[in-house]
């Protein structure tokens, strides 16, 4: 179900604020991600993930943490237009959210299960490919709070080799500046893909290298799969998933 911008638009006077009212460009093969640092009445960080034609948005008061033991509150706010990903500037005094906004991080995100199902269930597992944030993350809605006007979620870094203890490295303090002038993030390079041989049998279809499902059951499109999961097999050829059907994890 497409997201709605009615709440976003109703809060703003676009004759006075430089924020975009709608629009924005989508990418054919990836979903956009941005975190904006916002000096409003209180400094906070706005996490936005492209989904359903809008940017689903959460206000993270303390910003993200690379420490899996540190769970950060993320209050869901109104959907924003995709064009907001490019916004940096000053929201005028007297307007909603008045204050300075910079693009603190940007790139794309890769959901690790069907994103619409996971979003409505209140538990998103995903990878971030940004300038500052990378690796696997979880957004989980607090139990019993889904009907609130601004439901609270928790943003949690998963332990995957890209995590860092807060005592050793605080990404918010260590990397405070805008990435707007940085080149766009690119998807990691992959070997040339070959077409998968379709099969109705799970036993004969290859395994997905990201989710461990067999190729015929994986919803991703496209990504790598292993042609053979047999022990000792040295064949590292990869191919795109043959289907994009959505399944429950």
Instruction: Count other Cβ atoms within 10 Å, centred on residue 28.
Output: 4
CA pair distance 11, 186, nearest whole angstrom:
34
User: What is the rounded distance in angstroms from the CA atom of residue 47 to the CA atom of residue 61?
Assistant: 10
DSSP code, position 202: T
Which of 174, 201, 229 delimits the end of a domain?
174
Given a contact cutoff of 8 angstroms between Cβ atoms, the answer to whether 206 and 218 are in contact is no
- The backbone region for 203, taken as left when phi is positive above 0, alpha when psi lies in -120 to 50, beta otherwise, is alpha
Q: 19 and 118, same structural domain?
A: yes
Average pLDDT for runs of 10 along the chain of length 249: 86 97 93 98 97 97 98 97 97 97 98 96 97 98 84 97 96 97 66 39 44 44 40 41 40
Q: Tell me how many domains the chain contains.
A: 2
In terms of domains, do 151 and 213 share one? Answer: no
Are both 116 and 216 inside the same structural domain?
A: no
- 141 & 246 share domain: no
Calculate ∠ Cα 2-105-17, nearest 5°: 65
Q: Are residues 165 and 50 in the same domain?
A: yes
pTM: 0.74
Last residue of a domain, one of 174, 207, 234: 174
**Secondary structure letter of residue 66 according to DSSP:** S
Is the residue at 100 inside a domain? yes
Domain shared by 56 and 146, yes or no: yes
- pLDDT at residue number 58: 98
Task: State how far the Cα of 242 lies from the Cα of 220, in Å rounded to an integer.
Answer: 9
* Assigned domain for 181 exists: no
Does one domain contain both 148 and 194?
A: no
**Distant-in-sequence, close-in-space partners of 8: CB < 8 Å, separation ≥ 6:** 78, 79, 80, 81
Chain-centre distance for alpha carbon 174: 22
Give me the domain span that covers residue 249.
Answer: 190-249
The verdict on residue 183 lying in a domain is no
If asked whether residues 135 and 233 sit together in one domain, one would say no
Residue 56's pLDDT is what?
98
Would residue 184 count as lying in a domain?
no
């Amino acid at each position: 179900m497409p997201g709605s911008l009615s709440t976003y638009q109703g809060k703003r006077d676009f004759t006075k604020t430089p924020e975009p009212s709608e629009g924005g460009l989508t990418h054919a093969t990836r979903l956009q991600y941005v975190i904006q640092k916002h000096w409003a009445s209180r400094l906070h960080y706005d996490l936005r993930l492209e989904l359903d034609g809008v940017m689903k948005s959460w206000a993270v008061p303390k910003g993200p943490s690379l420490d899996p033991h540190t769970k950060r509150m993320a209050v869901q706010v109104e959907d924003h237009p995709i064009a907001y990903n490019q916004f940096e500037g000053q929201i005028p005094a007297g307007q909603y959210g008045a204050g300075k906004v910079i693009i603190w991080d940007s790139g794309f995100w890769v959901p690790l299960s069907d994103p619409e199902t996971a979003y409505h269930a209140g538990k998103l597992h995903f990878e971030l490919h940004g300038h500052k944030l990378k690796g696997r993350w979880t957004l989980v809605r607090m139990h019993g709070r889904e009907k609130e006007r601004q439901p609270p979620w928790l943003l949690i870094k998963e332990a995957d080799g890209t995590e860092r203890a807060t005592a050793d490295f605080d990404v918010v303090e260590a990397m405070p500046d805008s990435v707007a002038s940085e080149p766009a993030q690119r998807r990691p390079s992959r070997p040339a893909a070959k077409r998968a041989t379709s099969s109705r049998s799970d036993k004969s279809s290859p395994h997905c290298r990201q989710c461990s499902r067999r190729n015929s059951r994986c919803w991703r499109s496209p990504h790598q799969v292993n042609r053979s999961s047999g022990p000792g097999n040295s064949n590292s050829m990869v191919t795109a998933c043959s289907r994009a059907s959505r399944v429950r994890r």
